[in-house]
Amino acid sequence: MITYFLVENDKLVQKKEANPKDHNLIWVDLIDPTEQEKAFVEKAFKIELFTDQESEEIEISSRYIEEENEIGINMNFTYRKDDDEYLEAVSFILKNGILFTERDNEYLTFRATYRRMRINRPFSGEHAFLMILDTRIDALADNIERVTDKISKLTRSLVKDEILDSETLKELTSMQDKSMIIRESSMELQRVLSSIIKSRIFPNEHQDTIRIMMKDLSSLLEHTAFNFHRLEFLQDSFQSLVDMEQNKIMKVFTIMTVIFAPPTLIAGIYGMNFQDMPELNYEFGYPLALLSIVLIMIAPLFYFKMKKWL
């Protein structure tokens, strides 16, 4: 699907068809395009869209490409599916004041950008591109706030309630994964903006905006690093509490072993079938043996209580 964005009568207009030579055109958005649609855009606007392989390249040289009158950028955007988050590649091309975007899915960042553009109309493709990145930064900030809130709840459940179950461990792992995605996305945005600010063909009028966005990203990275430290602390606390619970269990087994070992020894001795065992003929031998077993079991319990081991 191809969507065209034009500025007409000082308003942003969204169309399904447009004249490639229209000077009011600022953005061509391709969502899961067919090969025919891609070929049409390439021919009409005299550009070469990224291939799937080029979009997924991880090298910085493939992420940002600047030619004589064209800038090509590949970035990862968060895609949510079944309560899980994935990073998927989105391609950007800036040429002759027009922004070209190619993506496989509809992302929250783009929907939010549509809403912002209705209020703050972009005046060029470069401006629209920066608005998308700015919306992406705001989305990352919201994600950090959600992660921070969940970390605070996990801290309370661990420290106060001492909830030690598999769900807590899964939540910790999930928070680490989300924080990792936030950090990777923030660092990627930082690299792209750093390349743009050094660009020869990107309009200089946006320099101040780019610097502000880079400062915002630095703050996000600091906050993300703080969240990582908190998650490491929670993991250590979780492991310590698990170790304490295991020690309690081992302590119970050790005490039971100490209590039952002597009675077992006594029962074993007098259970031996030898003829020369005078105690077996003693009238009070059996009750005395039982009394000895009880006393030997009770004595360690009193001792453990005195030592405050129980």
pLDDT tens figures, 30-77:
888 888 888 888 888 888 888 776 666 655 555 788 888 888 988 888
Which amino acid does the sequence have at 164?
L
pLDDT greater than 70 at residue 144: yes
Residues sharing a CB contact under 8 Å with residue 68, sequence separation 6 or more, in sequence order: 201
**Judgement on whether residues 291 and 184 belong to the same structural domain of the protein:** no
Give the number of domains in the chain.
2
Q: Tokens standing for 101? A: 């975007």
- The pLDDT score that the predictor gives to residue 82 is 64
**CA 92, CA 239: separation in Å to the nearest integer?**
45
**CA 298, CA 296: separation in Å to the nearest integer?**
6
Q: Are strands 98-103 and 84-95 parallel, antiparallel or unpaired?
A: antiparallel
Note down the domain range covering 64. Answer: 2-243
If pLDDT is split at 50, 70 and 90, which confidence band does 135 have? very high
pLDDT greater than 70 at residue 95: yes
**Judgement on whether residues 109 and 254 belong to the same structural domain of the protein:** no
CATH number for position 39: 3.30.460.20
- The pLDDT score that the predictor gives to residue 11 is 80
Over the chain, what is the mean pLDDT?
A: 82
Give the three-state DSSP class for 158: helix
Distance (Å) of CA 146 to CA 32, 89, 141, 142, 217: 30, 24, 9, 6, 17
**Judgement on whether residues 230 and 104 belong to the same structural domain of the protein:** yes
Mean pLDDT, range 292-306, rounded to an integer: 77
pLDDT greater than 70 at residue 98: yes
Indicate the pTM of the whole model: 0.77
**CA 181, CA 78: separation in Å to the nearest integer?**
8
Distance (Å) of CA 122 to CA 94, 106, 114, 119, 285: 14, 20, 11, 9, 102
197-208 tens-digit pLDDT: 988 888 888 889
- The pLDDT score that the predictor gives to residue 54 is 66
**Judgement on whether residues 64 and 124 belong to the same structural domain of the protein:** yes
Mean pLDDT, range 265-281, rounded to an integer: 66
Among the residue ranges 16-30, 159-173, 185-199, the one predicted with the least confidence is: 159-173
CATH number for position 269: 1.20.58.340
**Judgement on whether residues 230 and 289 belong to the same structural domain of the protein:** no
**CA 187, CA 127: separation in Å to the nearest integer?**
21
- The pLDDT score that the predictor gives to residue 222 is 93
